């Protein structure tokens, strides 16, 4: 893939659009599913929790979330109009039962009341946050006291191996994220670091290092 193709892929990873965006969304759902499940597991979901996700993509993973507890409500926010339409298309059953809703936002502000959600999570969106301190503050605002926020991301050392990461991606080590948390009102409960074997576009196997940061509001 030439430089222009790599740049276009980076743009699609940030905000999928068009027919290519649908392909990228399916790829992201498949390659990120273990990261997504780890993030959901660490929410410690309870009956009737109201869960919010930032960056739901095509939401092909939503069936796993509803297996963790009964009578969960889900609200998703994404910046991509295409992902909103794809998520709605793929999750009709959950929407008919009023369990799930898919919304758009500007990438920085959530039009929600203070203290609305029991749990919030996001996977592989951190790289695109324009103002991480403001984003953490906004997430803190809409989370209930005692609520949990799980932030899952691929670590910098692995991200640097990916050619598209030089186009609009801000990469983080776990230590970088710990510093962000120190400047927020959140309390760091734990940091889970893991490695999984993944394939690149050439079919080559690589060890991908990723982390889930579990934060609590008090």
pLDDT confidence of residue 84: 97
pLDDT confidence of residue 200: 65
Nearest CA-CA partner of 109 in 85, 81, 139: 139
Query: At which residue do the structure tokens 């006291």 appear?
Result: 145
pLDDT confidence of residue 58: 96
- Average pLDDT per run of 10 along the chain, which is 218 residues long? 87 91 90 95 97 97 95 97 96 92 96 98 97 98 98 96 92 97 97 90 81 97
pLDDT confidence of residue 205: 86
pLDDT confidence of residue 3: 86
Contacts of 60 (CB under 8 A, 6+ apart): 26, 29, 90
pLDDT confidence of residue 201: 57
The pTM assigned to this predicted structure is 0.94
What domains lie within the chain, and their CATH numbers? Answer: 3-216 (3.40.50.150)
pLDDT confidence of residue 135: 98
pLDDT confidence of residue 72: 95
CA distance 57 to 27: 10
pLDDT confidence of residue 136: 98
């Amino acid at each position: 893939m030439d430089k222009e193709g790599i740049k276009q892929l980076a743009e699609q990873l940030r905000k999928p659009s068009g027919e290519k965006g649908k392909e990228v969304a399916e790829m992201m759902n498949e390659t990120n599913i273990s990261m997504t499940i780890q993030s959901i597991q660490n929410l410690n979901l309870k009956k009737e929790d109201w869960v919010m996700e930032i960056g739901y993509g095509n939401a092909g993973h939503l069936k796993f979330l509803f297996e963790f507890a009964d009578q969960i409500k889900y609200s998703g926010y994404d910046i991509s109009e295409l992902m909103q339409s794809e998520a709605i298309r793929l999750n009709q059953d959950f929407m008919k039962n009023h369990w799930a809703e898919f919304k758009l936002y500007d990438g920085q502000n959530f039009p929600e009341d203070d203290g609305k959600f029991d749990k919030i999570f996001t996977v592989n969106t951190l790289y695109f946050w324009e103002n991480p301190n403001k984003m953490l503050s906004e997430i803190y605002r809409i989370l209930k006291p005692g609520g949990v926020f799980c932030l899952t991301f691929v670590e910098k050392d692995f991200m640097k191996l990916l050619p598209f990461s030089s186009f609009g991606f801000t990469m983080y080590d776990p230590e970088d994220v710990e510093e962000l948390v120190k400047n927020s009102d959140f309390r760091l409960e734990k940091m889970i670091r893991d490695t999984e074997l993944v394939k690149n576009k050439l079919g080559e196997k690589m060890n991908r290092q990723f982390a889930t940061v579990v934060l609590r509001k008090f």
